[in-house]
Amino acid sequence: MRSALNKGLLCGFTIAMALLSASSVGAQNSTRSANLPKVKILSVKNEGLLFTDNNAGVSGVDVASSIPVGNRALWLFGDVFLLGPVEAPIQSYVGNVSNCGLWVPLEHGVAPLHHYRFICDTSTQLARQLIPLEHGEANETRLWPSSGWYDAHTHRLYVYYSINKVVGSGAFGFKVEGYGLACASPPDRSLQFTRLHIKSQSSLWWPLDSGAAFGCAVIDDNADPYLYIVGVDDRQGHHYGKLARVLKSRIADLQAYEYFAGYGESPQTPRWSKHVQDAADVEGLKDFPNELSITYNTYLGAYLAVYSEGVFSQRALLCEASKPWGPYRPIGEISTPHRAFENAFCYACKEHPELAEQNGRIIYITYVDSERYWPQLLRVTLQKQTNTP
């Protein structure tokens, strides 16, 4: 069993990014907007833990985000437990890094996830940190990747990440300071990100103590010149969803971001502001942790949000909207397959849309069990229902 200190440090993401507790496989369906077809969760299949049988010394990872990059997908993780080389008679704990990643082929379904390769330090052959610490930062600064986007025209890979400080011991001993943006070019075997700085020379683009922070999820539609960046505002113990947009060609320019400032005459005519202070709540996107996914689902003909609900909840929620800025309406909920240990909780639920099959009728969702500390994969089948008079 890992030490209490290490569990406190490396499960900090667990608490800071909010949580999903576990029970048995199940799904419940709820009402939805009348202007979209009804849908139910037809089945949920537990596909097991991911990436456990590796030669990179990785014995546990937090969260799991994935970004399509050409003919591959990059999976990124938060705090990482490392053991010594696999050839050693006894693999001992050698430390941790606050983020790492691996490559898998870009294909649909579960099969590509069996052909993964962690990005390793060439000298130690252990998984290495991809978003680096900077001068003056030490291990108490934790950098957790949350979402990203690959620019196929410039061959640049962008990742939003949260900046966190260890302020005490135990699982609650973290403070989320805000979000920044990192870039890598080209994304090859020597993948290494550079943290982008704003004019003040700070890598902190959106300080959490100044209001809403952005980077929780990226919504990308190939036909839209804009990327939509999901944000969060923590008010009186509740998380409220926010939204920013930026032209894809100007993703690295903070001044180019605009913020959803509410609906005009209808949700089809949103207002946008250059001032982050004007950012309005996205209707229906509330009480999610800083970890979630939102993507356009062709089968549903709608944007699908997937996230763990609140802190120590027993549910993952699926919500939909006709536009990225909402309003979002719940279409169903999923309970996690099991509680591996009495005090375990589950969190960081999100979809990996590049794995989806049948145009999104079958989707793949991961979450993390706090005791097992590995991504668990669920195969979720959706079913549209015929409207009856």
Instruction: Please give the average pLDDT of every successive group of 10 residues along the chain, which has 389 residues.
Output: 42 44 41 66 95 94 95 95 73 84 98 97 94 92 96 97 86 83 85 91 90 96 96 90 98 98 88 97 91 96 92 80 96 75 77 99 92 90 79
CATH architecture of 4-384: 5 Propeller (2.115)
DSSP secondary structure string for all residues of 310-332: SSSBS-EEEEEESSTT---EEEE
pLDDT in tens, 107-141: 999 999 999 999 999 999 999 999 999 988 998 99
Res 314: pLDDT: 65
Helix (H, G, I), strand (E, B) or coil at 158: strand
> Regarding beta strands 100-105 and 117-118, do their DSSP bridges make them parallel or antiparallel, or are they unpaired?
antiparallel
Please provide the average confidence, as pLDDT, over all residues in the chain: 86
Res 3: pLDDT: 40
H-run or E-run covering 27: strand 26-28
Res 282: pLDDT: 98
- CA torsion 86-90-91-94 (nearest 10°) is -130
Res 159: pLDDT: 99
Let me know how long the chain is.
389
The whole-model pTM stands at 0.89
Res 47: pLDDT: 95
Identify any residues that bridge with 161 across adjacent strands, giving them in sequence order: 145, 180
Give backbone dihedrals phi and psi of 267, rounded to 5 degrees, phi first: -60, -15
d(Cα 136, Cα 119) in Å, to the nearest integer? 25
Res 211: pLDDT: 86
pLDDT in tens, 6-31: 444 445 544 444 433 333 334 544 44
Helices (H) and strands (E) in the chain, counts: 2, 27
pLDDT in tens, 154-197: 999 999 999 999 887 765 678 889 999 999 987 776 899 999 99
Give backbone dihedrals phi and psi of 200, rounded to 5 degrees, phi first: -75, 5
